[in-house]
């Protein structure tokens, strides 16, 4: 990858010569190089975005939607390039990079473009005309676990709403941002509407959060980083949308298809190496089914082959970095020290895979619901099985963490729906309900604020004006 930012429609060198190596976690090799951006780079990108804003905001919603639709088409056309970059930069198996990592962004771009025609851009309310207008310049700060999806989830609604964007992708997984920038040009997006500044959160993220000419921050990442961004952004009273950590619970009720529920729940715990804020790392089962649940989970986990992410047989590749592998490994060791029953996997590298950031998929049983491994976000392939006494206890345990992003419930449909209503989470899947690009996604409690996807996600990037007549 060229060592450059993307500002005002072209690749530009950084104001500083310092660079950041992008490390392939499968083998430690250098997959690319990006600049270690500075506050001066942010100033330049914000200036381009500010200059482009009036013209882009003045275009019709239909024209903006058509451009976003072309971006979605461009993503699909460059699937192979995008998938290869994602696998190289953060280790997702190529089979997953080629599907979910690209398919989700395409679906988001397409669905957001579809919304423009029917969205209530203006409304009559008595003697008032209510007008929904773009906010201005949006600073987007995104994580490494879904490096393309998390960008498009912000970029597509921001553009349809009429905003311009300055993006800071994660320095761990920044390679897809350049491909996306090229796609936006091919789609006809005017220069300056989308800009990319590479660098660290401590430098570039701080500069974006504090910048007086940025009107909104949309951030996805850790709760710790979200708190810092909100604090810095408060200095200029800009709008802040935060999609933060999670510790989802998969609540299995009596009468559920136990084997099917565990199979689905394990997939939601181990997908993308467990590096998903919306995963379900806690499996809650009736106490009388605990031993059977262990047997089923262990048997299902044996199919999750760990290995080279370019091997079609691989289901779990390396974690995104060696530093993150060590963090996950520390939690596994903490679980053992705290007395949880290790029934699958464990600490250390998988056999024969010591040359990359590989972790062993791990299952703990008989877990104390208030222990560290059951309360804190591990962000790795670690499942904790927690027995419960009755439905009220299950709901209490599911709601016991500081997070409230996603959960699942399996059981008789009406009972499962009733339990889903009691869970303090922004999204709950009942009996394996499928992902919906039009449904709102976001968190309760310390999982953040604001919503992504559908008309709720579009509304996040709009100001509301009332004109009295």
Cβ-in-10-Å burial (0-12, 13-18, 19+) of 313 comes to exposed
Which residues form the catalytic set?
Answer: 243, 277
Give the residue extent of every domain in the chain: 5-244+447-468, 249-437
172-211 tens-digit pLDDT: 999 999 999 999 999 999 999 999 999 999 999 999 999 9
Query: What confidence tier does 2 reach under pLDDT thresholds 50, 70, 90?
Result: low
What whole-number distance in Å separates Cα of residue 168 and Cα of residue 35? Answer: 12
Specify the CATH number for 5-244+447-468; select among 3.30.530.80, 3.90.470.10, 1.10.10.10, 3.40.605.10. 3.40.605.10
Report the mean per-residue pLDDT for the chain: 97
Q: Is 1 a residue whose pLDDT tops 80?
A: no
378-403 tens-digit pLDDT: 999 999 999 999 999 999 999 999 99
Q: Is 228 a residue whose pLDDT tops 90?
A: yes
Q: Does domain 249-437 have CATH number 3.40.309.10?
A: yes
| For residues 238-254, average pLDDT | 98
82-108 tens-digit pLDDT: 999 999 999 999 999 999 999 999 999
What whole-number distance in Å separates Cα of residue 221 and Cα of residue 207? Answer: 17
Q: Which two tokens stand for residue 127?
A: 């003697």
Q: What percentage of the chain exceeds 90 in pLDDT?
A: 98
Instruction: Please give the distance of CA 289 from its chain centroid, rounded to a whole number.
Output: 33
Cβ-in-10-Å burial (0-12, 13-18, 19+) of 433 comes to middle
Q: Is 22 a residue whose pLDDT tops 70?
A: yes
Note the pLDDT of residue 82: 98
Torsion sign across C-alpha atoms 218, 221, 226, 228: negative
Q: How many CB atoms lie within 10 A of CB 337?
A: 9
Note the pLDDT of residue 95: 95
């Amino acid at each position: 990858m060229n060592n450059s930012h993307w500002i005002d429609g072209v690749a530009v060198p950084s104001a500083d010569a310092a660079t950041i190596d992008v490390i392939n976690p499968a083998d430690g090799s250098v997959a690319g190089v990006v600049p270690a951006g500075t506050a001066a780079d942010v100033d330049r990108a914000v200036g381009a975005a500010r200059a482009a804003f009036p013209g882009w905001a003045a275009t019709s919603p239909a024209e903006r939607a058509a451009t976003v639709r072309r971006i979605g088409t461009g993503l699909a056309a460059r699937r192979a390039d995008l998938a290869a970059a994602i696998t190289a930069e953060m280790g997702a198996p190529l089979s997953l990079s080629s599907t979910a990592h690209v398919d989700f962004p395409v679906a988001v771009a397409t669905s957001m473009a579809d919304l423009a025609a029917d969205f209530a851009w203006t409304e009559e309310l008595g003697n008032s005309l209510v007008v929904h207008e773009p906010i201005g310049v949006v600073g987007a700060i995104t994580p490494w676990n879904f490096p393309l999806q998390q960008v498009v989830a912000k970029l597509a609604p921001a553009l349809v709403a009429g905003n311009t964007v300055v993006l800071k992708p994660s320095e761990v997984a920044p390679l897809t941002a350049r491909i996306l920038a090229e796609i936006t040009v091919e789609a006809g997006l005017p220069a300056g509407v989308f800009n990319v500044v590479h660098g660290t959160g401590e430098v570039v993220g701080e500069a974006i959060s504090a910048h007086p000419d940025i009107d909104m921050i949309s951030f996805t990442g850790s709760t710790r980083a979200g708190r810092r961004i909100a604090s810095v952004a408060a200095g200029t009273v800009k709008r802040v949308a935060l999609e933060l950590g999670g510790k989802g619970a998969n609540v299995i009720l009596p009468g559920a298809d136990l084997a099917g529920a565990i199979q689905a729940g394990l997939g939601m715990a181990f997908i993308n190496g467990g590096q998903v804020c919306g995963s379900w790392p806690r499996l809650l089962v009736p106490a009388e089914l605990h031993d059977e649940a262990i047997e089923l989970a262990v048997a299902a986990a044996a199919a999750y082959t760990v290995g080279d992410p370019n091997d079609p047989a691989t289901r779990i590749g390396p974690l995104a970095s060696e530093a993150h592998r060590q963090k996950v490994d520390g939690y596994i060791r903490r679980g053992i020290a705290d007395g949880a029953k290790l029934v699958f996997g464990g600490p250390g590298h998988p056999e024969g895979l010591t040359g990359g950031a590989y972790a062993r998929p791990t299952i703990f049983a008989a877990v104390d619901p208030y222990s560290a491994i059951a309360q804190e976000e591990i962000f790795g392939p670690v499942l904790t099985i927690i027995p419960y006494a009755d439905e009220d206890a299950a709901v209490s345990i599911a709601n016991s963490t500081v997070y409230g992003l996603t959960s699942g419930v399996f059981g008789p449909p009406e009972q499962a729906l009733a339990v889903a209503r009691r869970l303090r989470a922004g999204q709950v899947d009942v009996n394996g309900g499928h992902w919906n690009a039009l449904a709102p996604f976001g968190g309760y409690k310390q999982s953040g604020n604001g919503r992504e996807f559908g008309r709720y996600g579009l509304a996040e990037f709009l100001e509301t004006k009332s004109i009295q007549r």
